[in-house]
Structure 1
Amino acid sequence: MTGTRRTPPGRAGRMRLRHSLDVAVRGADLLEQKLRILRSEHQRLLRAEETAARAWHDLLAEAEAESWLLRGLLLGGEPALDAAAAGIGSAEVTIEWTVSMGVRHPARVSTAVPTRPSAAAAPSNTALVHAEAAYGRAVRAAAEHAAAHAAAESVGAEVISTGHRVRALRRHWIPHLREALDRADLALEQSEHEDGVRRRWASRAAGGDGSATGR
């Protein structure tokens, strides 16, 4: 709002206000276009997040990994679990990033669950073998859900931010500029009218002086 208070009077000020209004309107139009695209992308990401969440929750509900682990412990005890885990590293999650309308967010995720080294001893019972495979699937599902959630959250935050900016322009800044432009138009019209009146009075006065000198 401070820009309009510093606007110079006359035609230069009116031109500046006109330019500022045009820029604000174009900016609001572009932001609304961005907002439409972002909302569409956000809906797509929300559906992807819902699908990933369902897959992960289904695995948790089935408790397949936990069931196989409990069976393996019953069959071989904790020493069997320690021996099965010996020499196996941690899973690695790789995230590929993308940018949607200026918003950086995860595009896809890949999870590398380490395989058992050839030198490592095999699990002492098949239940632990099944548990290992089931936990690998659960890790992949959890990583995919986390990436989908982060993507939806990032784009959703930009939707909110862009919506605020559009409303600020449409409801406050653009109306303010239009009011200021209307006042500038009125002031310029009044100034030109007053200048015209002064010129006519000056012309009449000059004409009267000339006729009086002639006599």
Structure 2
Amino acid sequence: MTTPSRLPPSRAGRLHLRHRLDVAARGADLLEQKLRILLSRHEHLRRAEERSGSRWHDRVKEADTWLVRAVLLGGEHALDRAAAGVGPARITVGETVTMGVRHPSEVTCVVPDRAPSSAAPANTALVHAEAAYREAVRAAAEYAAARAASRIVGAEVLSTRRRVRALRRHWIPRLETALARVELALEQIEHEDAVRRRWAARTLGKGTSGADG
């Protein structure tokens, strides 16, 4: 891409600068429109992250409370036997696209039921702890997806804002300055051409008059 200040003072250069200035202005307008949409979406995702994070902390706190009671009642061996009957959770994360930015949307977390052959929890507190931790795992999955979505869209907000700032504060003013310089130079050139034409016309007229005499 040619540096604006290096373009020669010509009509072609002026047209080229005007075109580039028009493209830059339209690009800045489109980026600002994108930025407004992203800001709105990011605010929505940020609130969702806060809600899901608060819910996750509450579920973990509740689960930890039941776990302490269960260990006090049955000891760590009872906890180990109860944990052996629960398999790993399966998490599926859906995605969506906002202004070209792909980010997590819906999340599905399935915690499998206790295996029929496994030993039942040794006390009621373990039953409540297991149920509470199931909810905590689901809440953690939702929070992780919401946090990732907020971070991804937030990063795009920053990137888009930097691009708008670069266009509005740097590139467009440089193009405007270069265009003004070229237009001034062309005006000077055209003025000098007009002076030379008038001088040539007067000289030619005097020469013709002298020849007729």
TM-score, length-scaled by structure 1: 0.92
**Separation in structure 2 between the aligned mates of residue 58 and residue 110 of structure 1, nearest angstrom:** 20
**Separation in structure 1 between the aligned mates of residue 29 and residue 93 of structure 2, nearest angstrom:** 34
Q: Which amino acid aligns with 2:40?
A: S
**Separation in structure 2 between the aligned mates of residue 168 and residue 134 of structure 1, nearest angstrom:** 50
**Does residue 1:109 correspond to 2:107, yes or no?**
yes
**Separation in structure 2 between the aligned mates of residue 120 and residue 101 of structure 1, nearest angstrom:** 49
1:120-171 deviation per Cα after TM superposition (whole angstroms, max 9, x unaligned): 2222222212111110101111111121111111111111111111111111
Ranges in structure 1 where 5+ consecutive residues have no aligned partner: none
Q: Which residue of 1 aligns with 2:174?
A: 176
Ranges in structure 2 where 5+ consecutive residues have no aligned partner: none
Do the aligned partners of 2:8 and 2:182 also contact (CA within 8 Å) in 1? no
Alignment of 1:1-215 (within 5 A): 3-60=3-60, 63-215=61-213
Q: CA deviation at 1:9?
A: 2.5
Q: CA deviation at 1:87?
A: 4.2
**Separation in structure 2 between the aligned mates of residue 134 and residue 152 of structure 1, nearest angstrom:** 26
Q: Which amino acid aligns with 1:177?
A: L
Cα RMSD (Å) of the superposition?
1.7
Q: Which amino acid aligns with 1:41?
A: R
TM-score, length-scaled by structure 2: 0.92
Seq. identity, %: 64
Q: CA deviation at 1:36?
A: 0.7
Q: Tell which deviates more after alignment, 13-22 or 162-171.
A: 162-171
**Separation in structure 2 between the aligned mates of residue 91 and residue 120 of structure 1, nearest angstrom:** 17
**Separation in structure 2 between the aligned mates of residue 186 and residue 138 of structure 1, nearest angstrom:** 70
Q: Which amino acid aligns with 1:205?
A: T
**Separation in structure 2 between the aligned mates of residue 182 and residue 75 of structure 1, nearest angstrom:** 84
**Separation in structure 1 between the aligned mates of residue 172 and residue 5 of structure 2, nearest angstrom:** 15
Q: CA deviation at 1:2?
A: 5.3
**Separation in structure 1 between the aligned mates of residue 139 and residue 163 of structure 2, nearest angstrom:** 36
**Separation in structure 1 between the aligned mates of residue 158 and residue 127 of structure 2, nearest angstrom:** 47
